[in-house]
Amino acid sequence: MFETPTSRANTVNTHHSLILGLVATDCIAAVIIAVYLQSAWELYPCPLCILQRYFFIALGLFSLFSLLLKPGKLRDFSSAFCLLLALGGAAAAAWHVWILHHPAADCGRDAVGEFINGLPMAQWFPSVFYATGSCIDEIPPVLGMSFPVWALILFSLSALVLAASLLRRLRA
C-alpha cells in the first residue's frame, strides 16, 4: 500500500530499463527499414541520410550498453550520452527537413559528403554507409512523410523519453 524508497527506486530503474530497451529497438528497426527500403525502392542515400544512420546506430548501441549496466552513476552518465546522441540525430534530421523545404540550400555533398564517404564503414559496407544521392532528391513518402521527417520524430521522441526517464531516475 505504501511505497518505500527502495520499491520506488526499483520501479524507476525498471522503467528506465524499459525506456532504454525501447530506444535501442526503435533505432535498430529504423536502420533496418531504411536499408531495406533503399534496396527495394532503389534509392540513393545522401550524406545527411547516412549521418542519421550513424546517429541511429550509435544511439541504439549506447542504449543497449546502458541497459546492460547496473543502476548507478555510470548508467546515468551513459544514459545522458544517449540523450546527447538523440539530440544530435534530431539536429541532423531537422537540418535535412529544412533542406528538403529549401532546395536551393547546399545539402552538404561537399565537405560532409567527403567526410561521410571517407569513414571506414563507408569502405567496408558501401551499400549501407556510402552516400551517393542528393539531399533534395525526390523520395517516395512512407505513410505520408519523408524519411527525414520520420527520423526527426524518432530522434525527438527518443530524446524526450530519455530526458524524462533520466530526470525521474535522478530524483528517485
Residue pLDDT, tens place only, 128-165: 888 888 777 777 888 889 899 999 999 999 999 999 98
pLDDT score of 108: 52
pLDDT at residue 7 above 70?
Answer: no
Instruction: Read off the pTM.
Output: 0.87
Q: State how far the Cα of 119 lies from the Cα of 129, in Å rounded to an integer.
A: 9
pLDDT at residue 3 above 60?
Answer: no
Q: State how far the Cα of 165 lies from the Cα of 159, in Å rounded to an integer.
A: 10
